[in-house]
């Protein structure tokens, strides 16, 4: 399979604070890749840097063989690298249909209606509520809307930042099943940042683990899920020995074996 995205030695700062450092990542066409890590690991910064929301301090981002680091976010989107941001960020006073239309703002082709119908097929609840203001939707429906809006830009690579945030386990499973369906039906590559490691590893093909702005492990998801440190730190495989789970996690030295 062709390499769609290559990230080489990427480094991003917030003022005097280095948020991500020396990040190398590769994503092939038609694959679902997940980036896992705790709060503050640098996952959202990574996606925002790839999407052009933040300029990197150094490093290279190659998308479809062309450098895109430093480009404005709208140009990155036009090239097919599209971000559905953390927290949904829908337009609350616009209707569901108008929110979806905003996703196609950069397009001038004749396929917008076809893509809108496809989004409604993936998310039937959005069709039912297409005239309703987005701010009145439930959290799960807003997440569906955020993903649908990103899909209206017709991405080659769809980036999802914490799609399970604030959702019930049932809705989380439903969202990830739809993510798999989107990939299977369209061939769209997907890069998903997640804290819910169990569901992400179960639905993605390849995975990366981030800690303190660095990639500390990378492999196929079924292999990562069997690593002792991943099980202990992210899948609840550790044993309580008088320490809280979080304290025990950081007290023990990880080798990412």
Domain ranges for the chain, please list them: 3-226
Q: pLDDT tens-digit profile of 53-68? A: 999 999 999 999 999 9
Bridge partners (DSSP) of residue 23 are 10
DSSP notation for 12-35 = EEETTEEEEEEEEEEEETT-EEEE
Four-point Cα dihedral 80, 33, 217, 170, nearest 10: 130
What is the CATH number assigned to the segment(s) 3-226? Answer: 3.40.50.300
Q: pLDDT tens-digit profile of 1-24? A: 589 999 999 999 988 889 999 999
Mean pLDDT to the nearest integer, 217-242: 79
Q: pLDDT tens-digit profile of 177-223? A: 999 999 999 999 999 998 889 999 999 999 999 999 999 999 999 99
Query: Which residue, 4, 1, 21, 18, is CA-closest to 61?
Result: 4
The pLDDT of residue 241 is above 60? no
Q: pLDDT tens-digit profile of 150-166? A: 999 999 999 999 999 88
Query: Which residue, 98, 67, 68, 94, is CA-closest to 83?
Result: 68
CA distances from 241 to 234, 247, 257 (A): 17, 10, 22
In the structure, what pLDDT confidence band is assigned to residue 256 with cuts at 50, 70 and 90? low
The pLDDT of residue 257 is above 70? no
pLDDT for position 255: 62
Mean pLDDT to the nearest integer, 75-91: 92
Which residue blocks in 123-205 are alpha helix, DSSP H?
124-128, 139-151, 169-186, 197-203
């Amino acid at each position: 399979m062709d390499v769609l995205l290559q990230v080489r030695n990427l480094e991003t700062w917030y003022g005097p604070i280095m948020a991500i450092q020396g990040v190398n990542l590769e994503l092939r066409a038609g694959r679902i890749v997940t980036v896992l890590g705790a709060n503050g690991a640098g996952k959202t910064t990574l996606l925002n840097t790839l999407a052009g929301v933040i300029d990197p301090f150094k490093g290279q981002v190659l998308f479809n063989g062309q450098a895109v680091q430093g480009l404005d976010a709208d140009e990155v989107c036009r090239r097919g690298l599209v971000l559905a941001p953390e927290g949904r960020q829908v337009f609350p006073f616009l209707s569901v249909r108008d929110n979806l239309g905003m996703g196609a703002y950069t397009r001038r082709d004749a396929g917008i209606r076809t893509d809108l119908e496809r989004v409604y097929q993936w998310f039937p609840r959005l069709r039912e509520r297409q005239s309703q203001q987005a701010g009145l939707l439930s959290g799960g429906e807003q997440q569906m809307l955020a993903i649908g809006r990103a899909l209206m830009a017709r991405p080659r690579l769809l980036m999802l930042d914490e799609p399970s945030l604030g959702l019930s386990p049932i809705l989380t499973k439903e969202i990830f099943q739809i993510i798999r369906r989107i990939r299977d039906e369209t061939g769209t590559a997907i890069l998903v940042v997640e804290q819910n490691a169990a569901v992400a590893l179960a639905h993605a093909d390849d995975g990366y683990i981030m800690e303190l702005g660095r990639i500390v492990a990378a492999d196929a998801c079924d292999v990562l899920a069997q690593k002792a440190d991943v099980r202990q730190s992210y899948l609840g495989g550790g044993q309580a020995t008088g320490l809280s789970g979080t304290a025990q996690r950081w007290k023990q030295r990880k080798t990412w074996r």
